[in-house]
Amino acid sequence: MARIWKLLKSAPPTALFGLIVIVAYILIAIFGPILTPYGESEIVGTQFIPRGEQGFILGTDNLGRDMLTRLIYGARNTIGIAFVTTCLAFLIGGVLGLMATTLGGWVDQLLGRLVDVLMAIPILIFALLILTITGTSVPVLILVIAVLDSTRVFRLARAVSMNIVVLDFVEAARLRGEGTSWIITREILPNALPPLVAEFGLRFCFVFLFISALSFLGLGIQPPTADWGSMVRDNATLITYGEITPLMPAAAIALLTVGVNFVVDWFLHKTSGIRDDK
């Protein structure tokens, strides 16, 4: 605990701001049902009640649901699905990238060419095509985005591990007769972890924004489940009348993205070995 406190004291203001934002979002996502007076899809009034009227802090949406409640539940759904998707993408891409470098030969060539083909297709168009065919249930959404995003993770894991696999301690492990899994988990992965952890934060932001974009287009998280992307779409007509309520979900998306990027920048600086000038 003392070490964590010392680390936080040395963090720049931007990193502290990012950490506060991330912790706040996590707490809101966990305790969402306690913080909200209404149900996620409960109709509590007429449509488009203005902010601050009839006890609704952010007003109501196009169906008469409380916008504040939907915003809080949207944090649970959007962030939760994005986190699971990012973890799955790193599991797929990271394992395959490390295996490609360690095994080399035809395995590396086969996986590399497959990833090149997938990356040659624009990811949004590819996702829209697949989701239109397979449907938009949450498990399918997670699997499709994770597979498509794992190509970027594969490229990074392979590039980082290529500089490690040729070092002496890896060669020594091979000469000792260690297996592939041992070399990957004990020798390569610990040394490749800092850039992969930093990339996890960036990938999470990308997946988070990508899910919101798909929901805005109608192929992401489906109603009545609350989602920030679909909330912007459902209430976009209010912008015509000078009402900023539809921008609240967009602001929530932007704030979390900025917070995560601040923390990732700090982590990269700490792990790079560069010292701050005193």
How do residues 219-234 score in pLDDT, each as one tens digit?
A: 888 888 888 888 888 8
The whole-number pLDDT of residue 91 equals: 93
Mean local confidence (pLDDT), 147-162: 91
> In 10 A of CB 252, how many CB atoms?
21
The whole-number pLDDT of residue 1 equals 65
Confidence of residue 23 (pLDDT cuts 50, 70, 90): very high
**Burial class (CB within 10 angstroms; exposed 0-12, middle 13-18, buried 19+) of 240:** exposed
Residues belonging to the chain: 278
pLDDT, residue 201, reads 86
Predicted pLDDT of residue 275 = 53
CA distances from 41 to 50, 119, 124, 211, 239 (A): 19, 38, 28, 20, 23
Q: What's the pLDDT tens digit per position in 87-144?
A: 999 999 999 999 998 888 888 899 989 999 888 888 888 888 888 888 888 899 999 9
* Beta strands per DSSP E along the chain: none
For the segment 173-178, the average pLDDT, to the nearest whole number, is 83
How far is residue 160's CA from residue 102's CA, in Å, rounded to a whole number?
12
Read off the pLDDT of each residue in 242-253 and give the average, rounded to a whole number: 84
What is d(CA 212, CA 59) in angstroms, rounded to the nearest whole number? 22
pLDDT of residue 86: 93
For residues 213 and 274, the model is more confident at 213
Q: Are 212 and 253 in contact (CB under 8 A)?
A: yes
- pTM (2 d.p.): 0.87
Domains of the chain are: 13-26+62-272 (1.10.3720.10)
Top-confidence range, 1-5, 138-142, 171-175: 138-142
Ranking 22-36, 99-113, 259-273 by mean pLDDT, the lowest is: 259-273
The C-alpha atoms of residue 179 and residue 176 are separated, in whole angstroms, by: 9
pLDDT (0 to 100) of residue 17: 93
177 or 95, which is more confident: 95
**Spatial distance between the Cα atoms of 183 and 165, rounded to a whole number of angstroms:** 9
**Is the confidence at residue 278, as pLDDT, over 50?**
no
pLDDT of residue 248: 87
pLDDT confidence of residue 276: 53
What integer best gives the mean pLDDT of the chain? Answer: 86
